[in-house]
Amino acid sequence: MDKILIGKVVSFHGIKGELRLLSNFPYKNKCFQVGKEVIIDDALYEIASYRRHKQYDMITLKGFNDINQVLFLKNQNVYETRNVLNLAENEYLKEDLLNFEVESTDGKTGVVIDLFDSGSNHYILKVKIENKMIMIPCNPFFIQKIDPKKKIITIQLLEGM
């Protein structure tokens, strides 16, 4: 089973067992749906309700109607399986970018060897290009095109990179 991290239970809302999740997952609309299952603490739970509240995703779980029943879930990660996401050909997860080939607009080639979050939905690619390690922010200025089918990223480098 290929689990994908989609969020974390950070708190509760009210006394009826509603979970407050922090999630910056790009395909939330495919995961947080009534009737869909999520994995928390290696157990499957069915979503009974979903709503957004401020920066949080709020869910209740089928069969849990009291805060005392869900207290054990606090600080637990929430996962989904890759096959449930049903990603289209042009959709990808940032984790998929590892080992993608990199081609710069000036003809240099390399490979993505690592990636990490830089906060607030941004991440950085660590790329090895011509025996040099460079960090490339994943934003439209640097990333010209991502082709998940061919596993190629086209980038625009600044002078001196």
Answer yes or no: do 70 and 52 share one domain: yes
Instruction: Specify the number of domains making up the chain.
Output: 2
Separation between Cα atoms, residue 82 and residue 111, nearest integer Å: 24
Answer yes or no: do 15 and 79 share one domain: yes
Beta strands, E only, the chain: 3-13, 18-22, 37-40, 43-53, 56-61, 77-81, 101-104, 109-119, 122-129, 132-137, 143-147, 152-155
pLDDT at residue 161, as a whole number = 62
Answer yes or no: do 99 and 74 share one domain: no
Answer yes or no: do 116 and 54 share one domain: no
Asked if the model's pLDDT at residue 69 lies above 70, the reply is: yes
Asked if the model's pLDDT at residue 1 lies above 60, the reply is: no
Q: Averaged over 51-68, what is the pLDDT?
A: 96
Q: Averaged over 50-61, what is the pLDDT?
A: 96
pTM, to two decimals = 0.79
Task: Give the range of the structural domain holding residue 114, as residue numbers without chain letter.
Answer: 94-155
Answer yes or no: do 105 and 130 share one domain: yes
Buried-exposed string 79-93: b where 16+ CB fall within 10 A, e elsewhere: bbeeeebeeeeeebe
Residue 135 lies in a domain: yes
pLDDT single digits (tens) 83-141: 888 888 888 888 889 999 999 988 899 999 999 887 666 789 999 998 899 999 988 88
pLDDT single digits (tens) 13-38: 999 999 999 998 889 999 999 999 99
DSSP tag of 91: -
Answer yes or no: do 70 and 108 share one domain: no
Residue 42 lies in a domain: yes
